[in-house]
Structure 1
């Protein structure tokens, strides 16, 4: 379940970022700080974009930043970051990105139910409107817990 992989400590709102790399680093920072991933995992996300492009920009304005578990996953988690100013990631169909969900998955299966829950949220315009108005990580957790 999504609520089991997210906590208030993994949510940052209105992040200021200078470019896509800065945005990914700042979105992933709470996961590093909470011991969910190693810094090498963030490097893996950025390296993969250089190698194969912005594969994780899934839909309009949404990125699901992730890399391979062996790049430095310690524990499964999902972080949520909203950007104060949307950033170009190089995905002409879905740029600019305003919402970054950072996924750390310990294997190919453990996170699938959480991703299913997240996909359901990402289909709801109200979720984005809520994120745009949210003032605190606590508000976001309350919204997710109410699902």
Structure 2
């Protein structure tokens, strides 16, 4: 059912922190696994932050949940996702956020199935609550159980 998200978001790219100073730091921390593994370059992280500063909080998908991303392909080597969950929400231009799910897209189409899967996940209130609670093991278990 959600095989694409499972492929793009392994447990090794999920992090949990108590708090961060601001949403920009959250985007940087959330992006670090993708940067470390060569999926993205530093310019992509800067572009995500600049895009929110220019266009507003369009990355907020639902209460407490943001999907940082920038122009597809620019500073992206491979498509992938990484997740940062926070105990304490951080303000993102008037929106309290506890989950930052970074999307690295190599083109304008290849990530659409993952976005569809994500939308389906977030519409399930029980699953959404697990994401917001921030327990990486439970999130990973949910993603693993929904592959078939």
Q: Does TM, scored on the shorter chain, surpass 0.5? A: yes
Match of 1:79 in 2: 82
8 Å contact kept, 1:69–1:104: yes
Aligned with residue 9 of structure 1, among 8, 12, 20: 12
Which range moved further: 29-38 or 9-18? Answer: 9-18
Q: Distance in 1 between matches of 2:26 and 2:98?
A: 10
> How far off its partner does 1:114 sit?
1.1
Tell me, what secondary structure is at the counterpart of 2:67?
strand
Judged with a 3 Å threshold, the aligned counterparts in structure 2 of structure 1 residues 133 and 39 are, in CA distance, closer, same or farther, namely: closer
Q: Distance in 2 between matches of 1:9 and 1:70?
A: 23
Match of 1:109 in 2: 109
Match of 1:145 in 2: 144
User: How many pairs does the alignment contain?
Assistant: 142
Q: Distance in 1 between matches of 2:55 and 2:129?
A: 31
CA RMSD of aligned residues (A): 1.6
> How far off its partner does 1:13 sit?
1.6
| CA offsets 1:61-107 (integer angstroms, 9 cap, x no match) | 1100000134311110111211121011114xxx2011111000111
Answering whether residue 34 of structure 2 is matched by residue 35 of structure 1, we say no
8 Å contact kept, 2:87–2:134: no
Q: Distance in 2 between matches of 1:111 and 1:34?
A: 19
> How far off its partner does 1:135 sit?
5.0
TM-score, length-normalised on structure 1?
0.88
| CA offsets 1:30-55 (integer angstroms, 9 cap, x no match) | 11112111111000011111211122
8 Å contact kept, 1:15–1:26: no
8 Å contact kept, 1:10–1:30: yes
Unpaired stretches in structure 1, ≥5 consecutive residues: none
